[in-house]
A and B are shown apart, each in its own frame.
Chain A
Amino acid sequence: MATQHSRSAARMMMAPAVVLLLGWMLVPLVMTLYFSFKNYLPLRGGDLGWAGFDNYVRFVSSSAFWPSIQATLIIVGGALIITVGFGVLLGILLNQPMWGQGVVRILVIAPFFVMPTVSALVWKNMFMDPTNGLFAHLWRFFGADPVVWLSDASLTSIIMIVSWQWLPFATLILLTAIQSLDGEQLEASEMDGAPALKRFWYIVLPHLSRAITIVILIETIFLLSIFAEILVTTGGAFGTRTLTYLIYQRVLESQNVGLGSAGGVYAIILANIVAIFLMRIVGKNLDA
């Protein structure tokens, strides 16, 4: 029905958003690419000429690179397993008839709204502190030696903090997906005598597969770039230096922009690999 007139008007109306995002994407991206091929040390001589692929090679061959990849994978993987696993269970639990469902929902969702710096500091000091933290009290109560969480179990600690932040997101989305499950199909299988575990495995889980995929993809994109949680807890020490944190240190702390930019390009590529899968699912949904 759209006329020629409304079409050009539509294009005009889209222009600001498109131009802004195009600029936001292209300008920094081109600059990062440019710097990544340069020897650029703002505090130690500035622009020292072209570096070819040196920065890319040096970034990957530095002793900090593989540990950072490992830390990233452990944190992302650990948080995904915990949030999706408990998210499914919690989603099913919250979908059951009960008293005060609305209140419980609010309690469960709350951590999502806590800013990263607050949750990291609260966990670090009030729970994981080896002398005064609640965990230390709990451990002592049972006669055990308190764990020095952030240095002796640093990755576990970060995973715990991040999982606490993201469990509400997973739960909420999986709960929404469960609510759209066909109740009659479940009832029929229940009457046919299918045990609960089988009903879960053959009916509930397949129904949730799409929602689980979406949770995994979206969380991965956010988890790959967690920053504040590491900055205020360990500052990248004790093996918690993720790829994001390593690049941050190269760029802003040691001011080696060329090297950091090469790392940035790696991070962009990594994120895009995940993004392609997410976009495919979202795109499919647009057609429907």
Chain B
Amino acid sequence: MARAVTNQRKAINTAAAWIVGLLIFFPILWTILTSFKTEAVAIADPPVFLGFDWTLENYRTVLERSNYARFLWNSIIIAGGSTVLGIIVAVPAAWSMAFVPSNRTKDILLWMLSTKMLPAVGVLYPIYLIFINLGLLDSRLGLVVVLMLINLPIIVWMLYTYFKEIPVDILEAGRMDGASLKDEIIYILTPMAIPGIASTLLLNFILAWNEAFWTLNLTAAKAAPLTAFIASYSSPEGLFYAKLSAASTMAIAPILILGWFSQKQLVSGLTFGAVK
């Protein structure tokens, strides 16, 4: 009897959760569906959900028309480059804060976090000016550096949180056996830290991929990533639903897939370890 009640309750929960989940997911689903319609079907009244002739025409058009590959490549270079660079800078810092803490470690960590709070628009012109003078405007290198700096606090924090969980005993045992600092990092720490580094990499790649203030304001034609590619569809002549959908789907698909892998790390990564 009790079991029957739980099953009934479970069924209600399931129904409610699925309805809400599908509602929230619907805009994405609708975009993906529309990307396979012809422009005429895309604006049909009443709207058509599934009963249409699927076509790849929009993807073909978008690929031909807007040099999608270059935007994609820019996104990969900018998001990937800034993340890898950030990790290279952050690993030693996070390592030393986790394993050789001093009484200033906490202050440094909090200060790093505070740089993340600086509103981008407050320093827009200085960065713009520096970029013009260094010839970095509309260059991938410039964006790699800026996005690296923006995400550096999160990278340090995430790595610090992961490193903190590595037992110090193992390191001390290594030191007893005469491992140098370099050996310690390469042979003991790195293998244990790989999962933490991997999830940090993943989350920051996603954040850099979706960043849409600096990527829009510091690029024009050459270095523009997918965020800018999509923004170009906001002009009236680009208003074709099916093509907009195809372009959108191509811009978000890679990151949606990566994102689903990173959902576990998302919470501690984005709350700086305050919620676990």
Contacts and interface: CB of A to CB of B under 8 A. Distances in A.
Nearest 9 A/B pairs, CB to CB: A13-B92, A28-B123, A10-B96, A113-B259, A31-B126, A264-B122, A107-B21, A228-B212, A17-B93
A207 to B, nearest CB: 12
Nearest to A89: B20
- Main secondary structure, interface of A, reads helix
6 contacts: A14-B108, A20-B152, A137-B45, A173-B270, A214-B271, A225-B119
Given A115-B252, A225-B121, A272-B117, 13 more contacts: A14-B92, A29-B118, A96-B9, A97-B9, A104-B17, A113-B259, A125-B239, A180-B276, A228-B212, A232-B234, A264-B123, A264-B124, A268-B122
A119 interface: yes
Interface string B236-272: 0001010011001001100110111001001100111
A172 B173 CA distance: 39
B156 A17 contact: yes
A118 B248 contact: yes
Contacts of B248: 118, 121-122
Interface in B147-171: 149, 152-153, 156, 168
- Interface size classification for chain B: 35 or more
A268 B27 contact: no
A279 interface: yes
Contacts of A140: 45
Contacts of A287: 106
A282 B106 CA distance: 10
A264 to B, nearest CB: 4
Contacts of B47: 134, 137
Contacts of B183: none
A265 interface: yes
B122 A172 contact: no
A100 B18 contact: yes
B267 A221 contact: no
Contact of A231 (B109, B118, B216, B266): B216
Contact of B100 (A6, A27, A106, A225): A6
Contacts of A75: none
B275 A164 contact: no
Contacts, number: 307
B124 A114 contact: no
A173 B275 contact: yes
Interface residues of A, number: 106
A126 B241 contact: yes
Given A164-B24, A177-B275, A251 B34 contact: no
A279 to B, nearest CB: 5
B115 interface: yes
Given A121-B234, A176-B267, A225 B106 contact: no
B89 A17 contact: yes
Interface in B108-147: 108-115, 117-130
A140 B17 CA distance: 28
B17 A96 contact: yes
A228 B229 CA distance: 13
Contacts of B212: 115-117, 227-228
B119 A271 contact: yes
A112 B14 CA distance: 23
A148 interface: no
